[in-house]
Amino acid sequence: MRLKKPFLYWLESSFWNVVDLIFPPTCPGCQTIGYRWCESCQKSAVRMPAEVCQICGSPSHNSLCSRCVSSRPIYTQLRSWAVFRQPVRNALHSLKYRHNISLGQALAESMSPELQRLNWPIQAIVPIPLSEQRKRERGYNQVGLIARPLSQLQQCNYLPRGLRRARHTCSQVGLTLEERKHNLQNAFLADPRLVSGKNILVIDDVSTTGATLADAARALSEAGAKSIYAYTVARALSHKDA
């Protein structure tokens, strides 16, 4: 059954619709004027393959991939809405680097039906946080711009302070799996006052190796979260997975 859009979501959506009338947006996928993210680009997003690991969500012909068999993540399940290719890549880059902040709601609306079909027993949504240094540089957390409207659509609590960065980490781009794990080791802290005893959904924009979400899940588990699920807009696939 489809969830009815709550009043707060409708109100914020109405605000952005008024902004769009005054300052017509440009679709980041195809550059069509008048759309935040046009229907054609949404439909052309490359979806994840049907056969994936039941835990980490990576492409796999087996129910569990070799990585999850050898080292099972703390989170219960991780899934991604689409593959990190065009036009999704352009949309996320526009949100992240070009201050296209209204795009967060459009992405959340695309992701919400799939999240609902997963039927996870989530009670609260927590975005992966930026370090204070990076947040000052960018001015906002792009993941929060997706997680907030997604929580409204799913009608669950939004906890932007559920996680925080314990330290600044270098960019993950170009790092190997082991380098990513080392870079993110103990990078997050969770607030037990907010997450203890709850089923938490962690949101991120892109998953590559899952190292970020794995350390976030560790922090949430140590803070007493009952169970942890993870959902991203996109997943970056290797050539052998493509």
Classified as helix, coil or strand, 96 is helix
Q: Which residue range forms the structural domain that includes residue 70?
A: 9-235
> Would the pLDDT of 3 be above 60?
no
> Would the pLDDT of 180 be above 60?
no
- State residue 241 phi and psi, 5-degree precision: -85, -25
Task: Give residue 131's pLDDT.
Answer: 87
Is 41 within the bounds of a domain?
yes
Is 207 within the bounds of a domain?
yes
* Kind and range of the H or E run holding 182: helix 177-184
DSSP 9-58: HHHHHHHHHHHHHHS--B-TTT--BT-SS-HHHHHHSPPPPS-B-TTT--
Q: Please report, for the domain that includes residue 35, its CATH number.
A: 3.40.50
Q: How far apart are CA 154 and CA 208, in angstroms?
A: 25
> Would the pLDDT of 38 be above 80?
yes
Q: Domains in the chain: how many in total?
A: 1
How is residue 164 written in tokens?
């925080």
Is 187 within the bounds of a domain?
yes
Task: Give residue 166's pLDDT.
Answer: 85
Q: How far apart are CA 217 and CA 192, in angstroms?
A: 13
Is 1 within the bounds of a domain?
no
Is 242 within the bounds of a domain?
no
Amino acid at 24: P
Task: Give residue 4's pLDDT.
Answer: 61
Is 2 within the bounds of a domain?
no
* Kind and range of the H or E run holding 164: strand 163-165
Angle at Cα 119 formed by Cα 124 and Cα 6, nearest 5°? 55
Task: Give residue 171's pLDDT.
Answer: 58
pLDDT digit string (tens) for 165-176? Answer: 987 565 555 555
Can you tell me the mean pLDDT for 209-229? 96
Can you tell me the mean pLDDT for 142-167? 95
Task: Give residue 7's pLDDT.
Answer: 84
pLDDT digit string (tens) for 119-146? Answer: 999 999 999 999 888 888 899 999 999 9
Can you tell me the mean pLDDT for 100-108? 95
Residue 176 near residue 199, CB atoms below 8 Å = no
> Would the pLDDT of 1 be above 50?
no
Is 240 within the bounds of a domain?
no
Is 153 within the bounds of a domain?
yes
> Would the pLDDT of 221 be above 50?
yes
